[in-house]
Amino acid sequence: MYTAADPADAHAHDHAPSGFMRWVSSTNHKDIGTLYLWFSLFMFFFAGALAMLIRAELFQPGLQFFQPAFFNQLTTMHGLIMIFGAIMPSLVGFANWQVPLMIGAPDMAFPRLNNWSFWLLPAAGTLLISSFFVPGGAIAGGWTMYPPLFIQGGIAYDMSILSLHILGISSIMGAINIITTILNMRAPGMTLMKMPLFVWTWLITAFLLIAVMPVLACAITMLLTDRHFGTHFFDAAGGGDPVMFQHLFWFFGHPEVYIMILPAFGIVSTIIPTFARKPLFGYVSMVYAVASIAFLSFIVWAHHMFATGMPLGGQLFFMYTTMLIAIPTGVKVFNWVATLWRGSITFETPMLFALAFVFLFAIGGFSGLVLALVPVDIQLQDTYYVVAHFHYVLFSGSAMSIMGGIYYWLPKWTGHMYDEKLGKIHFWLTTIAFNITFFPMHFLGLAGMPRRIPDYALQFADFNMIASLGGFLLGASQLLFLYNVIQCVRGGAPAGNRPWEGADTLEWTQSSPPPYHSFVTPPIVK
């Protein structure tokens, strides 16, 4: 067992600083992980509030509260902030806290760079959110930023582009840090194939980030020069092509959706074995499945563009590669279910979230398969079916596994148990409200309701009202989450080193909360 009382440790480092400076100048992976998580929680509520406004407007047909231009700002900023402000930073927060603890490293490989990766986020967030208050309002062309619409807007468009540049710098530096930590700082004996699956998913995610964030930077730089420096990248008159932006964007964008889901897979693959009290079924195949999904993510991008138009050969290629993703994903779902088989399962809050993830993410995966079919996709492009699909993968996929992960590791991070009863209420309200909100959207989309509109035809009224009611309940339920987290940070029953009897990764050998500097000398993994 590792103990913090080793005299060598006490002298190795400066003691923990306190107050304001502890947070702004931190080089500690735990503090920086905490900062990431709080930042993402704030952004989650901010972008969630935008979603509440969207659902309020859509509660009834007709223009209720907002002008269409502002409604478009709401949908655009909701998407952008949820993706870049809430989901990605929270997963990096998990990586910061957990990767060093799970591989027995003293900290991240580049602790100062780690701090910069975080503190760039508030800078970028300030730029992005303040764009609501400039002349012309925030960006309104959708989070995908397609030209020519995106070339025509006001200063908010430039602010958002530059904000995304800063977010990209943060992501790339964060990813370099994580990948280096995993490759170079594993404890002796921790071979790659002994790493917890969460670490594996982050190794591959970090690779994806380094490969595709620069491509996004390219694409939005071209937008900027088309806007202000007279280039014609996306203007057919000058020999450019607006469709080229879509290719570049989705070459980033499709790996990006796996960047948001792979670490979530890692969290779920950690939670399920713990509460099934069995080792993860098919560990090696899980690793290969994650790697295959990452590889395939580079050759499916144009399935977002079937309706844009492309040669038949292109449509067939991207349709088949997209459907291929179902195979490694199916391997994963099979392994999660097989892990449960004959396990002695208990249903604590993290486990509930993980099980709901398997079920609901599978629905999102299946609707993705439906959308992979070119003829169907051309019918469903830009309808609420697509909205339903990506909320099943992003909310009940990423966001709910993040919540499960928070409940799972909160006792380790704070040293206190959260309120289990409240956690379960939060889980059930979230799951039920989520389905009330987004399941009817499948029907709306199949019936032809387009997305990103503030007003709609009368026949869509009932399902929209149901979705809005579900949405308000979903939003309100998250306040329970916030309350539970804050209460857990402030106090609660002592967690002990290993509150979950089925957990066997390295972090549970540490105290709860772990010492400020853990694993200063690496443990030896047998």
Give the binding range for other proteins (CB under 8 A) out of 17-25, 378-386, 422-430, 485-493: 17-25
State the binding string over 41-80 for other proteins (x if CB under 8 A, else -).
----------------------------------------
3 among known catalytic residues: no
* Residue 155 exposed, middle or buried by CB count within 10 Å (0-12, 13-18, 19+): exposed
Q: Residue 423: left (phi > 0), alpha (psi -120 to 50), or beta?
A: alpha
Confirm or reject binding of residue 382 to other proteins (CB under 8 A). no
- What residues between 292 and 331 interact with other proteins by CB under 8 A? none
Confirm or reject binding of residue 515 to other proteins (CB under 8 A). no
171 among known catalytic residues: yes
DSSP 521: S
Q: Which of 14, 19, 312, 342 binds other proteins (CB under 8 A)?
A: 14
Give the binding range for other proteins (CB under 8 A) out of 20-28, 52-60, 284-292, 459-467: 20-28
Report the alpha-carbon distance of residue 373 to residue 361 in Å, rounded: 19
State the binding string over 140-169 for other proteins (x if CB under 8 A, else -).
--------------xx--xx--xx-xx--x
517 among known catalytic residues: no
Report the alpha-carbon distance of residue 385 to residue 369 in Å, rounded: 12
Minimum separation from the CB atom of position 300 to other proteins (A) = 16
The residue annotated as part of the active site, out of 194, 232, 247, 451, is 451
Quickly count: other Cβ atoms within 10 Å of residue 341's Cβ. 10
The residue annotated as part of the active site, out of 9, 31, 226, 256, is 256
- What residues between 188 and 217 interact with other proteins by CB under 8 A? 188, 210-215, 217
Minimum separation from the CB atom of position 396 to other proteins (A) = 31
Phi, psi of 265 (to 5 degrees): -55, -45
Cα Rg of the chain, angstroms? 23
Q: Are 470 and 51 in contact (CB under 8 A)?
A: no
Confirm or reject binding of residue 19 to other proteins (CB under 8 A). no
Give the binding range for other proteins (CB under 8 A) out of 244-252, 279-287, 333-341, 494-502: 244-252
Confirm or reject binding of residue 497 to other proteins (CB under 8 A). no
165 among known catalytic residues: no
391 among known catalytic residues: no
Tokens of 455: 């007003």
Confirm or reject binding of residue 183 to other proteins (CB under 8 A). yes
Report the alpha-carbon distance of residue 34 to residue 103 in Å, rounded: 19
Give the binding range for other proteins (CB under 8 A) out of 54-62, 245-253, 325-333, 424-432: 245-253
State the binding string over 100-129 for other proteins (x if CB under 8 A, else -).
-----xxx-xxxxx-xx-xxx-xx--xx--
Q: Are 261 and 296 in contact (CB under 8 A)?
A: no
232 among known catalytic residues: no
Which residue is it, tokens 């609901």? Answer: 360
Q: Where are the alpha helices (DSSP H) in 305-419?
A: 312-324, 326-340, 349-372, 374-380, 384-393, 400-414
Residue among 314, 413, 400 at smallest CA distance from 362 = 400
Q: Are 200 and 182 in contact (CB under 8 A)?
A: no
Residues assigned a catalytic role: 78, 107, 143, 170-171, 254, 256, 258, 269, 303-304, 329, 332, 451
